[in-house]
Structure formats: C-alpha cells, structure tokens
C-alpha cells in the first residue's frame, strides 16, 4: 500500500481529458470540459482512512459554469390567446386580414409590452392549453420550429407563419427537475411538429419581435382524465420544478400562463367577426366569476385564488382547466403583491384578463423569484 501525504500539485491534463486523482491507485477520466479549469474550479480535501492508518489528499474538481445559479423569474404574465387579437392586429405573418376589432384588449397588450420594455429578460417560458398531451407534460426539444399554424376552429382568422427559437437547454433543465420530482415528462423532438396557436398568439402579442427564445410546455389534460384537484397538484409541482430550473440556469425568465378566464363561447360567429356590436360576455355569472378571480389577483391573494380554482374552473368552464395559471402562480411562489391588470374584455363571449406580476415588486427573497 502506498502512503500519500503530499498535496498533489495540480490536476494533470491528458489529451483533452481531465484526470481526477482520487488516490495514486484509483483514477478515472471525466469528459473534456469547455471551461478551462482555474484555481477556483478545484479544491483539495484531506481524506482520512483511519482504519488503514493512512490519509491521502483528494483533489476534487468542481465544475463551475459561468452562469450557474442565480437565475430568476422576472415577471409572470396572464396572456390570453384568442386568435382574434392577432387577426385584428394584421401582422405580416397572418394570412387573413381584419378591419379592426377588440381594441381595448389590444391596447391592454400594448400596455403590457410597454411594461416589459423596462424588464430585462433572456427567455420566455410558456404553457399553453392548446398543446394537449394526455400522457405527461412535453417540452419542445429542438432549437428551431418553422411552419404554418392554423386555428382548427377559426381558420378564417388565424393562419400564421411562424419561425421560432427554442431554449432547449432550459427546456431540458425544467424537464429534468420535473422528472426528479416524479412527474411524467418528455422532450418533443419531431422536427415536423406544428406549434399550437395558443403559444404563438400569446408570444406574438407579448413580444411581436420574436427576439427571445422560448421554452414551450404542453398542457397535460389531467382535468379530463382525473379531476381539477389532480391537475392542481401536478401543476404546482411543475411550477416548483420550473422555478428551480430557472434558478439553476442563471437566466432571467418571463413565465406566461396562456389562457382566457371564463370560457363558454358563442356557438355561432357573427357574419363580420370583428363586428363589436355583437361582442359581450356569454352570461352574467361568468362575468361575476371573472371579477372574483381578478379581485384576488389585484389583492395579492393568489393562494386563495388557487383554492378557488376547482370551483371557478367548473362553474365558468374556465380555460384554467389546462393548468397554466396554477403552474405559473406556483412558479412565482404565490405572489402576495398585487398583479397589474392591463385590461379585461370579452372575445366571442369568453372572459380575458391581461395581467402582469412584476417580481421586482416582491420584497421577499425567494430563490428563483425576484432579486
């Protein structure tokens, strides 16, 4: 047996590989690292083996990625996605053209974009109820998706040519955290996959320049094969996994819950879709429910809102059934500060609120949220 009592001088590097010395008799290779090991990258520990009456110096390599840890969610958005809003904006990517329509909501989105101009961020993380995966939660897993997205119910309003970038690294980190926490997850790596209109509409209205990469998350329809309560439990877990992964990534993220509130809509479209004389909430009880939810957002009562979610979802046939709002509020760790409500309005009878939680309003120090 060889007794080693001298601190090794450094970590020998052999043909692109770092050799980690555990003892002179045991050694193993690590894959080549991009980052150059520096003094701070390694540490020397004294490792005692009292039973063998010898000690050795164990030189341990600590891989420090430049931006590891310290990431955070800089804002949470409730950003509804009725395709009517894109249609009425007439962007070059959308084939149908409109005269006008739903101005108050579109002006609400303008105010949201103005607010975001003063918030620095690297990536948008979005969950849409229109990407429906009945077995687990899926994440777009390729760097680039380009195609035509058509709304199956309103193809007369939405045929949008998209070309979007994905932050696959962060998507995989959220996937891995969620998997570790026991959720069923999958990376979606089919290059021919068509991105849903909910993701595209909310992202277009939030950031029409499309200059930020996305993490796109599916809605696993657990409300429909289990219950709202099961959906809540799963989405709360996914929210925690999202927050943890964002923190580890070192990135600044905007998280988007892409959905309407009450969601019972008219069964017939008016002859001119943008005829605003026909637009109103489907019924008063839906309106009352929406106002109740919005009041809780304004009052910072998001835990109460989560408790109310099953009843709200069932009574107003709300689009919160997709889990996006529960996921986002969990990722934000249930804000107790007020949301900014930019606008509320109806689209073909559904209730839609545009809201921001600016996490810099948050005074508590939460890992992954606020400063």
Which residues of this chain interact with ligand 2X7, rule CB under 6 A? 81-83, 260, 265, 319, 347-348, 350
We find the least distance from the C-beta atom of residue 89 to ligand 2X7, in angstroms, to be 15
- Parallel, antiparallel or unpaired: strands 123-132 and 252-257: parallel
We find the least distance from the C-beta atom of residue 313 to ligand 2X7, in angstroms, to be 14
Nearer to ligand 2X7 by C-beta: 279 or 333? 279
CB 220 within 8 A of CB 234: yes
Q: How far apart are CA 142 and CA 57, in angstroms?
A: 44
Nearer to ligand 2X7 by C-beta: 174 or 318? 318
Nearer to ligand 2X7 by C-beta: 84 or 251? 84
Sheet containing 13-14: order of strands: 13-14, 17-21, 27-30
Helix and strand tally (H, E) in the chain? 9, 15
CA atoms within 13 A on the CB side of 211: 4
CA atoms within 13 A on the CB side of 17: 10
Nearest residue to ligand 2X7 on Cβ basis: 82
Q: How many other CB atoms are found less than 10 A from the CB of residue 120?
A: 8
We find the least distance from the C-beta atom of residue 350 to ligand 2X7, in angstroms, to be 4
Nearer to ligand 2X7 by C-beta: 249 or 346? 346
Quote the Cα angle for 132-135-140, to 5°: 55
We find the least distance from the C-beta atom of residue 216 to ligand 2X7, in angstroms, to be 16
Tokens of 124: 């948008």
Nearer to ligand 2X7 by C-beta: 249 or 260? 260
Nearer to ligand 2X7 by C-beta: 129 or 335? 129
We find the least distance from the C-beta atom of residue 293 to ligand 2X7, in angstroms, to be 15
We find the least distance from the C-beta atom of residue 258 to ligand 2X7, in angstroms, to be 9
We find the least distance from the C-beta atom of residue 267 to ligand 2X7, in angstroms, to be 12
Nearer to ligand 2X7 by C-beta: 85 or 170? 85
CB 280 within 8 A of CB 270: no
Phi and psi angles of residue 121, each rounded to the nearest 5 degrees, phi first: -150, 160
Q: How far apart are CA 254 and CA 116, in angstroms?
A: 9
> 3-state DSSP call for residue 124?
strand
CB 185 within 8 A of CB 178: yes
Nearer to ligand 2X7 by C-beta: 287 or 334? 287
We find the least distance from the C-beta atom of residue 347 to ligand 2X7, in angstroms, to be 5
């Amino acid at each position: 047996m060889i007794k080693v009592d001298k601190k090794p001088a450094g970590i020998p590097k052999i043909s692109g590989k770092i050799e980690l010395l555990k003892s002179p008799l045991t050694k193993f290779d690590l894959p080549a690292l991009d980052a150059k090991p520096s003094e701070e990258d390694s540490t020397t520990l004294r490792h005692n083996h009292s039973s063998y009456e010898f000690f050795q110096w164990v030189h341990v390599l600590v891989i420090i990625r430049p931006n590891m840890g310290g990431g955070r969610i800089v804002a949470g958005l409730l950003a509804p996605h009725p395709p009517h809003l894109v249609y009425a904006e007439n962007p070059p990517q959308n084939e149908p053209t409109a005269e006008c329509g739903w101005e108050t909501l579109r002006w609400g989105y303008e105010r949201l974009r103005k607010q975001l101009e003063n918030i620095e961020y690297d990536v948008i993380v979005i969950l849409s109820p229109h990407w429906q995966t009945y077995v687990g939660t899926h994440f777009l897993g390729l760097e680039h998706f380009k195609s035509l997205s058509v709304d199956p119910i309103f193809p007369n309003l939405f045929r949008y040519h998209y070309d979007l970038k994905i932050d696959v690294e962060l998507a995989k980190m959220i996937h891995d955290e969620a998997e570790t926490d026991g959720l069923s997850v999958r990376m979606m790596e089919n290059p021919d996959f068509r991105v849903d209109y909910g993701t595209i509409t909310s992202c277009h209205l939030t950031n029409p320049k499309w200059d930020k990469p996305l993490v796109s998350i599916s809605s696993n329809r657990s409300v429909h094969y289990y219950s709202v309560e099961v959906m809540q439990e799963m989405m709360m877990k996914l929210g925690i996994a999202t927050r943890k992964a964002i923190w580890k990534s070192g990135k600044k993220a905007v998280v988007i819950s892409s959905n309407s509130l009450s969601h019972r809509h008219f069964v017939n479209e008016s002859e001119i879709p943008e005829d605003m004389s026909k637009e109103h909430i489907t019924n008063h009880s839906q309106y009352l429910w929406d106002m109740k939810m919005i009041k809780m957002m304004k009052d910072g009562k998001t835990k109460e809102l989560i408790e109310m979610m099953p009843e709200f979802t069932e009574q107003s046939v709300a689009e919160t059934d997709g889990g996006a709002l529960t996921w986002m509020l969990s990722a934000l760790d249930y804000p107790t500060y007020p949301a900014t409500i930019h606008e509320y309005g109806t689209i073909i009878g559904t209730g839609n609120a545009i809201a921001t939680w600016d996490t810099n309003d948050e005074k508590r120090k939460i890992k992954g949220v606020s400063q």
